[in-house]
Amino acid sequence: MRLLIIGSLEGHITAAGKIALARGAKVAQADDIASGLNALRSGQGADMVMIDVKLDIADFIASLQAERITIPVVACGIGSDAPTAVAAIKAGAKEYVPLPPDPELIAAVLEAVTEESSEIVYKDPSMEAVFQLADQVAGSDASILIVGESGTGKEIMARYVHRKSKRADRPFVSVNCAAIPETLLESELFGHEKGAFTGAVARRIGKFEEASGGTLLLDEISEMEPRLQAKLLRAIQEREIDRVGGNKPIKVDIRVIATTNRDLEEQVRKSAFREDLLFRLNVVSLNLPPLRARPMDIGLLAEHFIRKYAEANGLPARPLADQTLDVLRAYGWRGNVRELENTMHRAVLLATGDEIGPEAIRLADGSQIGDAPAGAAAGLAAAAATATAASTSGLVGRTVADVERDLIIDTLDHCLGNRTHAANILGISIRTLRNKLKQYNEQGIRVPSPRDGQRAGA
């Protein structure tokens, strides 16, 4: 993890930096906001900023937003001054840390704010085979394509490969291609020169240059538009990039890892993905199995998350009842490990007895897993078929656009605002979903916010 400290606070913030160093972070320091912004623009990179609360935090965060630099900011101040802490949070800081710093508090903030978890838990043979292949290819510079459903741990696998590679002591830089609009993604990847477009107030180093010498993760590569795919292909082939608005190529030294939850060969057949780029990325493919195909890992992961969230909430780490484990293994886990983690977090909070019983295993909507008896499956299927026939008759007289809108909104609501999950269920790209939602917003239709899902999963 890379930490940028802005300010001095009479040496206390330097002490915080030393604690972060001792916890494995790489720390850089800037005296003021202008120096801090220049460090971020220049490709120095950071996963988190700690800033003196006496500096203009609101102005700093506004500058980050104007230049599309996404990074969590933590304010630091001497003592527990409640009004100052509240003002910092209102200005946009994610946390306030009182100084002099407490080592455990700094460690907790580093983990909580960056949400960087790379712990890998498995024992199922299907995962063992994947890790054996990852170990074989990690030491090379070959591009790797990691394929798997959402929530299977593709980014964690990418970080594992980086740690095992000869580039382990160099930067690991991640770009979510699905989360950044096409108009901004080119600048995010390749950087830009001052004045290249409206809002380009200074030269900005892109992720390719920031990752030079290390590993660049292109998360959800299937969501990248074909025009940008062509520029990406050239960058990977030639090991050089052109900044937006620049007039000379820049050499880079990176290892590329890409992830996708889609069948890229199918995307090639649909002309949505370049075949030559697929061949360039897919030197080695690591296919992560869904959780339902890893039965031996379900109990192991559940117990891991119980310990994690019991400790985080100051609660006893109750064991899983045998009946509860049966319920977990019988469930489909459409959201994979991420869904299991959220479920066990809720279970830790809801459990009341000596064990975590089935009554504590609830989904995000409050329903209980395994409510319907297993023997009733055939009856439920028949009832569903009858209900489907009845419900389709109610669609007569409505336009296709109206039905599509309701389906999209209801699916997004079911996914608690998570765009990626909703797009997967609907069978459309996240870019198509985003365009539809923009249209609905412009029509004044309420669209579930992604934050709804974050609150529900917290």
Q: Residue 405: which CATH number?
A: 1.10.10.60
CA distance 411 to 191: 36
pTM of the model: 0.67
CA distance 58 to 92: 7
Query: If you write DSSP's letter for every residue of 138-206 in order, what string do you get?
Result: HTS---EEEE--TTS-HHHHHHHHHHHSTTTTS-EEEEETTTS-HHHHHHHHH-B-TTSSTT--S-B--
Confidence of residue 394 (pLDDT cuts 50, 70, 90): low
Q: Residue 315: which CATH number?
A: 1.10.8.60
Q: Residue 279: which CATH number?
A: 3.40.50.300
Overall number of domains in the chain: 4
Q: Do 29 and 9 form a contact (C-beta atoms < 8 A)? A: no
> If phi over 0 gives left and psi between -120 and 50 gives alpha, with beta otherwise, what is residue 367?
beta
Q: Among 65, 89, 114, which residue terminates a domain?
A: 114
Are both 325 and 281 inside the same structural domain? no
Instruction: Name the nearest CA neighbour of 17 among 6, 31, 27.
Output: 27
Are both 281 and 296 inside the same structural domain? no
Q: Do 232 and 177 form a contact (C-beta atoms < 8 A)? A: no
Torsion, Cα of 10, 13, 17, 18 (10° steps):
50
Ranges 219-233, 266-280, 299-313, 418-432: which has the least confidence: 418-432
Are both 161 and 192 inside the same structural domain? yes
- Phi and psi for 221 in degrees, rounded to 5? -60, -25
Q: What is the pLDDT of residue 280?
A: 94
Are both 278 and 133 inside the same structural domain? yes
Neighbours of 178 (CB within 10 A): 21
Are both 278 and 344 inside the same structural domain? no
Q: What is the pLDDT of residue 392?
A: 52
Q: Among 342, 360, 378, which residue terminates a domain?
A: 360
Q: Would 370 be classed as within a structural domain?
A: no
Q: Residue 45: which CATH number?
A: 3.40.50.2300
Are both 299 and 435 inside the same structural domain? no
Q: What is the pLDDT of residue 375?
A: 38
Neighbours of 107 (CB within 10 A): 16
Q: Are strands 2-6 and 26-30 parallel, antiparallel or unpaired?
A: parallel
Q: Would 11 be classed as within a structural domain?
A: yes
| Residues 48-74 pLDDT 10s | 898 988 899 999 998 888 877 878 888
| Residues 165-208 pLDDT 10s | 999 988 899 999 988 887 789 988 999 888 888 777 788 889 99
Q: Residue 304: which domain range?
A: 291-360
Q: Is the pLDDT of residue 141 over 70?
A: yes
Query: If you write DSSP's letter for every residue of 256-281 in order, what string do you get?
Result: EEEEESS-HHHHHHTTSS-HHHHHHH
Are both 283 and 296 inside the same structural domain? no
Are both 79 and 213 inside the same structural domain? no
Q: Would 244 be classed as within a structural domain?
A: yes
Q: Would 350 be classed as within a structural domain?
A: yes
Distances (CA, A) of 219 to 91, 104, 150, 239, 367: 30, 32, 11, 19, 32
Q: Would 368 be classed as within a structural domain?
A: no
Q: Provide mean pLDDT across the span 336-346.
A: 93
| Residues 405-436 pLDDT 10s | 888 888 887 777 778 777 777 778 777 888 88
Are both 249 and 266 inside the same structural domain? yes
Are both 206 and 312 inside the same structural domain? no
Q: Would 296 be classed as within a structural domain?
A: yes
Confidence of residue 455 (pLDDT cuts 50, 70, 90): very low
Q: Would 297 be classed as within a structural domain?
A: yes
Calculate what percentage of the chain has a pLDDT beyond 90: 40
Q: Provide mean pLDDT across the span 237-246.
A: 91
CA distance 158 to 172: 9
Q: Per DSSP, what are the bridge partners of residue 173?
A: 216
- Phi and psi for 52 in degrees, rounded to 5? -60, 125
Are both 96 and 242 inside the same structural domain? no
Average of per-residue pLDDT values in the chain: 83
Instruction: Name the nearest CA neighbour of 372 among 352, 385, 358, 388.
Output: 358
CA distance 440 to 101: 47
Q: Among 88, 114, 140, which residue terminates a domain?
A: 114
Q: Do 426 and 433 form a contact (C-beta atoms < 8 A)? A: yes
Q: Would 377 be classed as within a structural domain?
A: no
Give residue 2's identity as a one-letter amino acid code. R
Which tokens belong to 16? 């915080």
Are both 212 and 89 inside the same structural domain? no
Tokens 């969590």 map to which residue? 72
